[in-house]
């Protein structure tokens, strides 16, 4: 599996037939500025969205139109995207699983919100906030937590899915901060690798993964903190 952090909560995963973008926030993302969206999206088969905030839906609509990729989102967000011209959509609810060619995606709980205020000033509720649990036929199980705080039912998520790689929000203010994220990883999961995300993008969230890395000291889990655009191989 190849995993590329694209800044904020955006990732590209490649394994087998699947080429996946998660939360493709490129336009307006200062940490993505030195990359090319067309290159990053080349050949993608799927776009997976954790929730409806603009810094996670990002460029999903245009990318879906340009590439023909299938978009997975919660049912309300999926309907909203359909009205905006996205043709290939799979919808699910919290706890539901959708099976694709070579992998499956389960929407897990996340403690967050999900809405957008559009140009007309109207707030659109876009369903639940979720995490994404990805089971691959030929690769490790990956858990993208979405935007969330710690919650005790993470223990059940681990029991049900036994994820090996965690993509963990650490930026504070809108998600759990680094110290709490480290507690979540160590108390509730047995990750082989964790990759912190949702930090360094805007001035009001934490700029470095230092608090998370410090909190993970002594853990058997490897912390990988790639630079934006760097590809990790598992």
CATH of the domain at 156: 3.60.15.10
Q: Which two tokens stand for residue 206?
A: 């934490």
Structural domain total, the chain: 1
Structural domain includes residue 232 = no
Task: Give a yes or no: residue 234 inside a domain.
Answer: no
Q: What is the pLDDT of residues 16-48, one digit of tens each?
A: 989 999 999 999 999 998 899 999 999 999 999
Q: Is residue 42 part of a domain?
A: yes
> How much is the pLDDT for 33?
82
Q: Report d(CA 97, CA 112) in Å as an integer.
A: 20
**Is 155 inside any structural domain?**
yes
Residue 125 near residue 117, CB atoms below 8 Å: no
How many angstroms separate the CA atoms of 19 and 39, rounded?
13
- Give dist(CA 48, CA 63) in Å, integer: 12
Tell me the residue range of the domain where 158 lies: 2-227
- State CA 31 to chain mean position distance: 16
Note whether residue 122 is domain-resident. yes
pLDDT category, 73, cuts 50, 70, 90? very high
Per-residue pLDDT, 167:
99
Longest CA–CA separation in the chain, Å: 51
Q: And the tokens for 56?
A: 């996670």
Phi, psi of 86, rounded to the nearest 5 degrees: -75, 125
User: Is the residue at 233 inside a domain?
Assistant: no
- Report pLDDT for 69: 98
| Residues above pLDDT 70, as percent of the chain | 100
Residues 182, 165 contacting (CB under 8 angstroms): no
**Which of the four pLDDT bands, split at 50, 70 and 90, describes residue 110?**
very high
Q: Reply yes or no on whether the pLDDT at 117 is more than 90.
A: no
């Amino acid at each position: 599996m190849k995993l590329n952090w694209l800044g904020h909560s955006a990732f590209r995963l490649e394994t087998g037939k699947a080429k996946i973008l998660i939360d493709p926030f490129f336009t307006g993302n200062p940490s993505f500025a030195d990359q090319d969206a067309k290159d990053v999206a080349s050949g993608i088969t799927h776009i997976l969205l954790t929730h409806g905030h603009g810094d996670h839906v990002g460029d999903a609509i245009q990318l879906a139109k340009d590439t023909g990729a299938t978009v997975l989102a919660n049912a309300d967000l999926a309907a909203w995207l359909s009205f905006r011209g996205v043709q290939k959509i799979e919808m699910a609810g919290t706890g539901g699983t959708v099976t694709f060619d070579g992998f499956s995606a389960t929407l897990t709980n996340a403690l967050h919100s999900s809405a957008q205020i559009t140009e007309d000033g109207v707030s659109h509720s876009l369903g639940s906030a979720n995490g994404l649990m990805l089971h691959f036929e030929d690769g490790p199980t990956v858990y993208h937590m979405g935007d969330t705080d710690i919650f005790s039912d993470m223990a059940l998520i681990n029991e049900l899915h036994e994820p090996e790689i965690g993509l963990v929000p650490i930026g504070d203010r809108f998600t759990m901060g680094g110290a709490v994220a480290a507690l979540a990883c160590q108390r509730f999961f047995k990750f082989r690798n964790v990759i912190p995300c949702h930090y360094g993008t805007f001035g009001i969230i934490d700029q470095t993964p230092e608090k998370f890395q410090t909190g993970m000291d002594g853990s058997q889990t490897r912390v990988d903190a790639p630079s934006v655009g760097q590809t990790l191989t598992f």
